[in-house]
Structure 1
Amino acid sequence: MKSIYNKDHNLELIERINRLSPESQAQWGKMNAAQMLSHCQGPIDVAFGNLKLKPNFLIGLLGKMFKNKILNAAEFKKNSPTAPEFIRKEAIDFEQSKKELIQKVMLFSELGEKAIKSSKHLFFGEMSFEDWDRLQYMHLDHHLKQFGQ
């Protein structure tokens, strides 16, 4: 499995992000490319401790039950549910969102595990650095594939 902390794998993600344009079309889902770039920042902000989500007992219980199955899957399923805080329906500035996402992705390879400031995930509960690595890489990979990258 590729690692978001690995400089080469991280650079590969950034190159894929850079190949996107405002005209890039989703192969599934409802977001446009700009909304996707903004959406992908939400989970990173949670890992970095910059975004606190309101816990839900039932969601947390389900997440703990499915954590290993989801994190050990080859990839995320299309149209998987997401936290309401990550849904983007408004107009988003593509270039600004792209720039911000790239900066955040770069922090994973620059800081490594030190980038992670939260040990808890709203859905999965306790998370190791390896869990965050897998989740962040899979999430970005999923959405880049959504837009043909």
Structure 2
Amino acid sequence: MKSLFNPSESNHIIQRIGKLTPESQGVWGRMNVAQMLAHCQCNLRIALGEQSVKRVLVGILFGGFARKQLVKPEPFKKGLPTAREFLVADQRDFEKEKSELKALIEKFTNGGPEGLTDDPHPFFGRMTQQEWDVLQWKHLDHHFRQFGV
């Protein structure tokens, strides 16, 4: 499984961000490219302990089962539900969002497993360092595939 804790694999993700342009169009979904970049920051901020979101009932009930599916090698499928707190509907500045996402990825990579929060994920609950890492990689890959990079 690929890891953002691996600097070369993290660099590969950052290179994919570099292929995006303000004109990049999503193959599925409703977000434009700047909104997607802002959305991707939310999950990283949660993992780094910079943002907290209250656990949701559906996550309390089903998050443990979903977390077990998370570590499987298959990429995320299209159309997975998104928590209301992670939705980005307002217009965003592409260059600003791109720069902030790169900085968060670098912070995640450089901080290593010790830089992760001990707080539970709002849906998946308590997660291991490996699960946080897998979630970040797969989430970023999912949205970059959405925009063709």
TM-score range, shorter chain: over 0.9
What TM-score do the two structures reach when normalised by structure 2?
A: 0.95
Alignment partners' CA distance in 1, 2:19 and 2:118: 30
CA distance in 1 between counterparts of 2:118 and 2:46 reads 7
Alignment of 1:1-149 (within 5 A): 1-149=1-149
Unaligned runs of 5+ in 1: none
Inter-partner Cα distance in structure 2 for 1:116 and 1:110: 11
Where structure 2 has 5 or more consecutive residues not aligned to the other structure, the ranges are none
Mapped partners of 2:114, 2:38: distance in 1: 23
- The AA in structure 2 aligned to 1:90 is D
Show structure 1 runs of 4+ deviating over 3 A.
none
Structure 1 residue 142, shift from structure 2 partner? 0.5
Q: 1:10 and 1:138 mapped to 2: Cα distance?
A: 12
TM-score (norm 1): 0.95
8 Å contact from structure 2 (residues 43, 136) kept in 1: yes
Per-residue deviation, residues 43-67 of structure 1 (Å, max 9, x unmatched): 1111111111122233321111221
Q: Contact 1:60–1:123 (CA<8 Å) still a contact in 2?
A: yes
Instruction: Give a deviation string over 1:51-95, Cα, whole Å, max 9, x none.
Output: 111222333211112211133141101011111111011000100
The amino acid that maps onto 1:5 is F
Percent of residue pairs identical = 41
Structure 2 Cα separation of the partners of residues 49 and 83 of structure 1: 17
Give CA-to-partner distance per residue, 1:87-118, whole Å, 9 cap, x none: 01100010000000000001122111122123
The alignment's C-alpha RMSD in Å is 1.1
SS in 2 for 1:108: helix
**For this pair of structures, how many residues does the alignment match?**
149
